[in-house]
Amino acid sequence: MSAKNDHLSKISLRELSLHNGQDKDRIWVAYQNKVYDVTASRLWKNGKHYEHWAGQDLTAELADAPHGMGVFDRFECIGILE
């Protein structure tokens, strides 16, 4: 892990799954081992964005997305997926 990520919390898959837009106030997704808070995005309302669901690691699913990983620059990286 790089020095710029040293301050980030480790987040388990179980904890990530609880932030799916249904169970908790915050909506999280993971991409390339980083967890992002997408709560403020109108595109993730209720934890769903097109056919993608929040609360999980979307790395494999986003290989076919019409956008690059730069889309995550809009969101706060809140942790590292463990």
CA pair distance 69, 48, nearest whole angstrom: 18
CATH number where 19 lies: 3.10.120.10
CA pair distance 79, 53, nearest whole angstrom: 18
Specify the pLDDT at position 6. 67
The pTM for the full model equals 0.85
Specify the pLDDT at position 9. 95
Q: What is the pLDDT along the chain (82 residues), one digit of tens a residue?
A: 444 566 899 999 999 999 999 978 899 999 999 999 999 999 898 898 888 899 999 998 887 776 767 788 999 999 999 9
What end-to-end distance do the CA atoms of the chain give, in Å? Answer: 12
Number of domains in the chain: 1
- DSSP code, position 24: S
CA pair distance 46, 28, nearest whole angstrom: 11
**Domain span holding position 68:** 3-81
Specify the pLDDT at position 51. 82
User: What is the Cα gyration radius of the chain?
Assistant: 12
